[in-house]
Amino acid sequence: MKYKVKAPRVIFMIFAVILMLAITVVSVIPLWHVLMLSLSNPTAVTTNRGLALGILGNLDLNAYKMLLGYKKLWAGYGYTILYIVLSCAFTGVLTVMAGYIFSRRRFRYRNSFMMLISFTMLFNGGMIPTFMVIQKLGMIDTIWAMVIPGSLNVFNIILMRTSMEGISDALEDAARIDGANDFTIMFRIILPLCKATFAVIMLFTAVYKWNDFMSALIYLPRRTDLYPLQMALKEILFRTTKDISTAADATSNSVYAQNIKNAAIIVSTVPILCVYPFVQKYFVTGMTVGAVKS
């Protein structure tokens, strides 16, 4: 039996494909433009005023050689990865525990506590009170100031709670009959069934920490050696700009200033783009779980 596709459906599919292609082009072209500029001849880059869809002049990799030669860049990479790993560990454990507690119907005051913590999504103490708390705890100029604040996010708790509420109570009852405790049920039974939501939360945390520079500005005033990648790139770009403004003649850095800036964008963007495809399959499922009740 052949399925007859109606005209409105065909029109919608054509419109959807065209729209997705347009969004893809708008998203990819700026990154491609920056990549081409970073690989182009520096003289051609400074004189170019249009969109670079190909390498301008001859292929030149000196900007990447100069950029990758900065030791602070590699230190920034290392500390950023460390912050991401620690943040994901703290966020993962705390979010799973909070989501499990608030999803259990036997917890009598779960709705009251949920309303209380949800209130912080709209109103909070602000930057100065948070800084004072971190300072009193002795975490200023330490890696923990980059990790612990913000590890428990209300939005993540809501996602995890909604996902866990969709799991049948019969699984928990069967596990308790077999002698399992709450930690065994939470991590070995409930969590594997919520891996899509968990993967999305880990992706959110990793992307946030990868792009986070404000925390370093606030909590690492003297320990510049603990700066993450984004702050290291900021120092690299500032140093290049300073070289241009103070140099008496055209130095190698001033010639490659624009190339170095474009290369810095690529270096800071490509790694996180490489991680996303491995988590993409969980993204839609993790975000929409619980949206439809059976």
From the CB of residue 270, how many other CB atoms can be counted at a distance below 10 Å? Answer: 11
| pLDDT score recorded for residue 282 | 65
Positions in the chain short of pLDDT 50: 244-251, 292-294
Contact 259, 44 (CB under 8 A): no
| pLDDT score recorded for residue 5 | 63
Domains of the chain, earliest start first? 1-60 (no CATH), 62-170+196-288 (1.10.3720.10)
Q: Which pTM does this prediction carry? A: 0.80
The whole-angstrom separation of Cα 170 and Cα 176 is: 10
User: And the tokens for 205?
Assistant: 């945390």
| pLDDT score recorded for residue 259 | 83
| pLDDT score recorded for residue 89 | 93
| pLDDT score recorded for residue 246 | 47
Question: Helix or strand or coil: residue 212?
Answer: coil
